[in-house]
Structure 1
Amino acid sequence: MKGCIVVVLVFLFSMANAAELPVEAFASAPSIDMLKLSPDGTKLSMTQTVDTEKEQLVLVKLFDLETGEQKFLVKADSRDLNIYSVVWANNKQLLVKAAYASHRYGTPVTETRLMVIDTETGKNRSVIRGQLQRKLVRTPQFQSNIVALMPEDEEHFLLALDGFNHGVGTSVVKINLNGDLSKIVAHSRENLIDWVADRQHQPRIAIFRDDTQYQIKEKKPNNDEFRLLWQFEALSEDTIWPIGFDEDPNLLYVSAYHNGKKAIFKVDLAKDKPEPELIKADPDYDVPADISYSWQDKKIIAVGEDYIDPKYQAFQKAVDDALPDADNYIVSMSHDQNRYIVLTSSETNAGAYLLGDRKAKTLQFLLPKFSQLAPELMVAKQKIQYKARDGLTIEGYLTTPQGYQQGTLPTIIFPHGGPISFDDDGFDYWTQFFANRGYAVLQMNFRGSYGYGFDFMQMGLQGWGLQMQDDVEDGTRWLIEQGIAVPGNICIVGASYGGYAALMGAVKTPDLYQCVVSFAGVTDVEDLVKSQRNFTNYEIVKKQIGDNFDLLEQRSPLTHADKVQVPVLLIHGTKDRSVPVKQSTAMFRALKNKKKSVEYIELEDGDHYLSTNSHRLETFKAMDRFLKSHLQLPEQRVAVN
């Protein structure tokens, strides 16, 4: 894997400085995405979005690298079906995961399905059918949880599936892709929700949940006995989460806390009392709970986000040398490890796919994810930090328009959703859109955000509208102190929890912001918690958000509509299964009744993620118009078509 790589095609862009791009440049979903190589390296699978007057299509497409032939295998309307994963089962069959909005016993839910596609004939079918379907006593809500692909046995894979009894319990089924009989290889137990298989494809780790208590158990090979390994409360510091096995079926990698930060450990299950052995830790941040296993080399090759195997480290270095100043990820590789797909991106590069050939030592540019977003017109985020009012350090990112040197700017405060999530320095099409319009954008990882350790996360539990909200306000005032934001020219924008924070900003500090944009925002926290009563994670939701409904009512923007003194834009999809659309319609009515300035846009069949191009475009055009009417830009922007 040594030697240099020659890049045979590269990006070439040249456009005017500080140009205002069309809204469509930011608001269009990637035209081509999810590229994967067939095991023999001769074909590419991908998804493609195509808009017509009547349909918003997502297609599964096949491209033959040897002949140049293209064919479309699946066509779906993205308003009805979200295709979120496409993987090769073998050289002739693809496995496609899809999600859609539905109802169960009157409760709005998301369902998932798994299809198998014959790439030669184009025929597709559900994996759950025939003899297997007849064994079910109820139709499972989730049918796409692949426990393990089996490269050494391409006719089979393992699927986690419930529905074989009336209670909550997940089994593992060995699916035969040729249509022959499928076999249950691990039977469900009460409260068993998921499985982890070893590298010999034996279901070995069973994950149980009863309300807020988890149990991690080992299933002994070739029998139905279980051994309790660990038990812990949800959201506790005792959490030990299985990640995956090494080649040795007794060596299990887990994620657990070390000195208050999530780290990766290795556990020897051959011991009577397995004790985690520290493998990777970071004193400042959580280590991502991720490992990579090479079935060809029969070993773990990466821990966290870094290769640990010298051969793969050298390979990654060669790719990074060929594509400098970028984050380069090997997203797919042929079974002989010669051909591979690289997804390269940076703070200013929205992402592009390249095809590599190790024998030829070449990288061939395939296509960009966002063809209209020239890196030269994008801007890098600046990492910042400030002190909250109680002295806690808050990290965040500041993005300013291209060419900005100093002085005040119209400003957007942009808290993230989740709230157990985070913002980083990666490419963000929302932030780039705002900066391209001439706004400074401040994102902050307020307390409760993910990645900063146990104590930081705990500070956000049941803290909606309290110190988490203060952190957002303190960031705004910090930016004013820096001479970038100026009172009277600041708006606050957010999605999901971020929409809640935006609305609460207008409630708690009515003079600080000039306008509010909430996409799919929570407005009634009490109702959000109560809406989870019919779901199995209800007790965890209460533990995270709270169960004192009187307090939750007082921390809801809906309760304080009379305190909102600035214009509000509400946008919500009718098929949102994360935050129900009634959260926005109720807020709209409350603001209207109080004679407040409010606009509401409802996205018919829209989901929580703006998965459909037309919904993205409508949302971004509305935000563009709304923000321009309430924020004063320092100079006339240049429009580029």
Structure 2
Amino acid sequence: MVVRTELLSRSFLLKARNWSLNAPRRGLPSLCVFDLTGATESALIGLDSTYRLKDFFWVDEARLIFRFGMFERLQTQSGMQEFEAWRAVSYDVNSGESTVLMNDTRGMVDTSNIVSLLPQDEGKVLIMGWIYDSGATSGTIMPTKSNKGWMPRTFAVNLKNGKTRKAETFPKHTDQVVFDQYGREVARLRRDINLGTSTVYRGRDEIYFEDDVNVRNLRLIALEESVGDLIVWIDRGENRGLNYMSLRDGSMSPVMIGDKRAGAAATIIDPYTGTLVGVEYGGEWDEQVFLVPELDAAQSAIEAAMPGKHVTITSWTADRKKVSVALAEAGRPADYFVYDSAAGTMGSIGSAGSHLVNRPVGNVVSISYEARDGRTIQGFVTLPPGKTSDNGPFPLVVLPHGGPVAHDTAEFDWWSGAYAEAGYAVLRPNYRGSTGSTSEHRFAGYGEYGGKMVDDVIDGAAWAIAQGIAKPDGYCIAGGSYGGYSALMVAARDSGQVKCAISVNGVTDPILRLSEYTPDSNAYNHYELMLGSGRFSDDASRAAIMPVRQAGAMSAPILIMHGREDTRVPFRQFTRMREATGNRPNFTFVEMEGEDHFLQSTYARSDVLNRTRTFLEAHHPVQ
């Protein structure tokens, strides 16, 4: 079995008899279904090249649902717009037949948001989307846009023929709805950005209210049926982190793990029951803590049997007797297994990167350094295979992560791994604003999108040179999304040291990007918070954080690549930069036809690596 690391990404699901995984087919994500008993042959479900597999889950022993995205241009009330449309497909394992769900609807951007498997209504699922009420005709389903005039609506959908039946419409300004496993409303969150208020309702009864809200400080996670309360996320004040919210009066109590608060953790929800079964903490490795005895025991047994390996449980059967698990070491692709607790056995499935099994990989080292204002920045340096810092200095590539609300870990990373294999030291800093550390470190990024977050990256390169890890004659910088933006800004601000810069799907005009969000939307408010609300009232302040206005300060060779079907950072960011630079010879622009923001195909990632490694060798050679 050959499974490329960048395509697997923990996408592995178990049922009692079958299991499935995300694997490449002609370089594109596809779905493989295997019979654990060996009674039937495996099935490969290939997707058209225009479809991008997102995720998948089992409905029952014979039916699988997978979701995919596709690039579309649609006529809207605001004119022609580009979207990534989301669709869901029901696949019958026995017959091999597949059906697109909600196939009797038109003009809907997202028809994949399944909120209940409706166990009381066999053969149907409940899908929720957002309908725009313009006061005239019905609009389109489009989550994550402005909640002004948008109303969630649920549809009962037949899994065999994909046909829909409208179930319920919720009031305007409804931001979230929590359902029980039978598709019944438990609670809903009404958020009015204009008034700055958030209200939680149980039926018609208001159980919680807060004002002075300009970002999503409150999120409803799930119903915890064992205690009869909601699990919610609070992002401010003394209750920050995971909490139970009483459905009776809205009072809060912290989610506890033993005698400690769960705090700022991600939730692990059981896909069969919708209940909380564990939490995950970010850090050098993302660590799981399970709250149910079956999964906690499985984790302990696997860790005892495989010392020195980082254990991540990726899925389990409904009875939790079998689990799929990823075992990893720093910088090396994970190996996947099925653990059977009843039999006490663990069988190998394969490697997430079989092409690297017998090849040396880069040496990933956790590091920290002090930024110019004294803040401690944690990160990772990946050194060439078999090398340590004592073998330095090496030519340096700085690779800031995207997001920016994200973080790098010690796990295998295809981009830094490829550069390290070529002989470079690669620095991946978790600059302020990153997750995976404290809330204070994340909040320190607010207002510093084009400021101290960029300075942290420059300071990391200076640290690597001072430590003797990097050669003192300069460095190159590369990144994707926000990391691409950071690469361009560093090229402008540290032009005396930057020998070349690479931006892939990067933001080039953050002010334009802000204007593309609806002003009363959650996305707008969060992006404005990251940029710095009220800080850019004059032209000079705006120009200082805009690569399109800083191109003249970039003297090093610059390579800019962008997916033509990128909807996260729209392609117009690429064209704006190309227009701003004119015919300047140090800029090279590459359009990636048919590719999206996340470069999901093997072709896209191979193209990025081949072009950028050639670019690095030309302007920052290893020898």
Report if the CA contact (8 A) 1:26-1:429 is conserved.
Answer: no
Q: Which residue of 2 aligns with 1:197?
A: 179
Report if the CA contact (8 A) 1:261-1:453 is conserved.
Answer: no
Spell out the pairing of 1:247-258 with structure 2 (5 A cutoff): 247-248=225-226, 250-257=228-235
Report if the CA contact (8 A) 2:53-2:67 is conserved.
Answer: yes
Q: Distance in 2 between matches of 1:153 and 1:110?
A: 31
The Cα of 1:452 is off from its aligned counterpart by: 3.5
Q: Which residue of 2 aligns with 1:265?
A: 243
The Cα of 1:200 is off from its aligned counterpart by: 5.4
Q: Which residue of 1 aligns with 2:530?
A: 544
Q: Distance in 1 between matches of 2:510 and 2:155?
A: 39
Q: In structure 1, the residue corresponding to 2:24 is in which secondary structure?
A: strand
Q: Which residue of 2 aligns with 1:146?
A: 114
Name the CA shift for 1:312/1:356 in 2 (closer, same or farther; >3 Å). closer
Q: Which residue of 1 aligns with 2:141?
A: none
Where does structure 2 lack aligned partners over 5 or more consecutive residues?
139-148, 281-287
1:613 aligns with 2:582: no
1:569 aligns with 2:545: no
Spell out the pairing of 1:52-67 with structure 2 (5 A cutoff): 57-67=28-38
Q: In structure 1, the residue corresponding to 2:266 is in which secondary structure?
A: coil
Q: Which residue of 1 aligns with 2:544?
A: 554
Report if the CA contact (8 A) 1:525-1:553 is conserved.
Answer: no
Report if the CA contact (8 A) 1:500-1:518 is conserved.
Answer: yes
Q: Distance in 1 between matches of 2:84 and 2:545?
A: 28
Q: In structure 2, the residue corresponding to 1:487 is in which secondary structure?
A: strand
Q: Distance in 2 between matches of 1:568 and 1:61?
A: 40
Question: Which of 444, 459, 462 pairs up with 1:459?
Answer: 444
Name the CA shift for 1:494/1:129 in 2 (closer, same or farther; >3 Å). closer
Q: Distance in 2 between matches of 1:411 and 1:532?
A: 36
Deviates more, 1:575-584 or 1:337-346: 337-346
Deviations 1:195-249 (A, max 9, x none): 22235542212233434746242333xxxx242424456665x923222222247
Q: Which amino acid aligns with 1:227?
A: E
Q: Which residue of 1 aligns with 2:504?
A: 519
Q: Distance in 1 between matches of 2:601 and 2:444?
A: 35
Deviates more, 1:488-497 or 1:253-262: 253-262
Report if the CA contact (8 A) 1:33-1:48 is conserved.
Answer: no
Report if the CA contact (8 A) 1:522-1:583 is conserved.
Answer: yes
Q: Which residue of 2 aligns with 1:21?
A: none
Deviations 1:263-311 (A, max 9, x none): 22223222x3512335259999973230434868x97432343012344
Q: Distance in 1 between matches of 2:66 and 2:337?
A: 22
Q: Distance in 2 between matches of 1:196 and 1:380?
A: 44
Q: In structure 1, the residue corresponding to 2:514 is in which secondary structure?
A: helix
Deviations 1:116-159 (A, max 9, x none): 112222222222145xx4xxxx7432111122335676534332
How does the TM-score come out when normalised to structure 1? 0.83
Deviates more, 1:619-628 or 1:528-537: 528-537
Q: In structure 1, the residue corresponding to 2:221 is in which secondary structure?
A: strand
Q: Distance in 1 between matches of 2:132 and 2:621?
A: 61
Q: Name the structure, 1 or 2, with higher relative contact order (CA <8 Å, separation 6+).
A: 1
Name the CA shift for 1:27/1:568 in 2 (closer, same or farther; >3 Å). farther
Q: Distance in 1 between matches of 2:178 and 2:263?
A: 22
Report if the CA contact (8 A) 1:172-1:195 is conserved.
Answer: no
Report if the CA contact (8 A) 2:7-2:601 is conserved.
Answer: no
1:116 aligns with 2:58: no
1:288 aligns with 2:265: yes
Q: In structure 1, the residue corresponding to 2:70 is in which secondary structure?
A: strand
Deviations 1:310-360 (A, max 9, x none): 443222111122233223233232334333322222323312221232332
Q: Which residue of 1 aligns with 2:283?
A: none
Q: In structure 2, the residue corresponding to 1:426 is in which secondary structure?
A: coil
Q: Distance in 2 between matches of 1:37 and 1:293?
A: 12
Q: Which amino acid aligns with 2:367?
A: I
Q: Distance in 2 between matches of 1:192 and 1:581?
A: 31
Q: Which residue of 2 aligns with 1:206?
A: 188
Q: Distance in 2 between matches of 1:187 and 1:393?
A: 49
Report if the CA contact (8 A) 2:294-2:320 is conserved.
Answer: no
Name the CA shift for 1:479/1:287 in 2 (closer, same or farther; >3 Å). same
Report if the CA contact (8 A) 2:314-2:325 is conserved.
Answer: yes
Q: Which residue of 2 aligns with 1:43?
A: 18
Q: In structure 2, the residue corresponding to 1:245 is in which secondary structure?
A: strand
Deviations 1:502-543 (A, max 9, x none): 111111111111111111111122222223349943344334
Report if the CA contact (8 A) 1:292-1:302 is conserved.
Answer: yes
> Quick one: percent identity of the two aligned structures?
25
Q: In structure 2, the residue corresponding to 1:577 is in which secondary structure?
A: coil
Report if the CA contact (8 A) 2:332-2:411 is conserved.
Answer: no
Q: In structure 2, the residue corresponding to 1:579 is in which secondary structure?
A: coil
Q: Which amino acid aligns with 1:110?
A: E
Name the CA shift for 1:278/1:307 in 2 (closer, same or farther; >3 Å). closer
Q: Distance in 1 between matches of 2:259 and 2:597?
A: 33
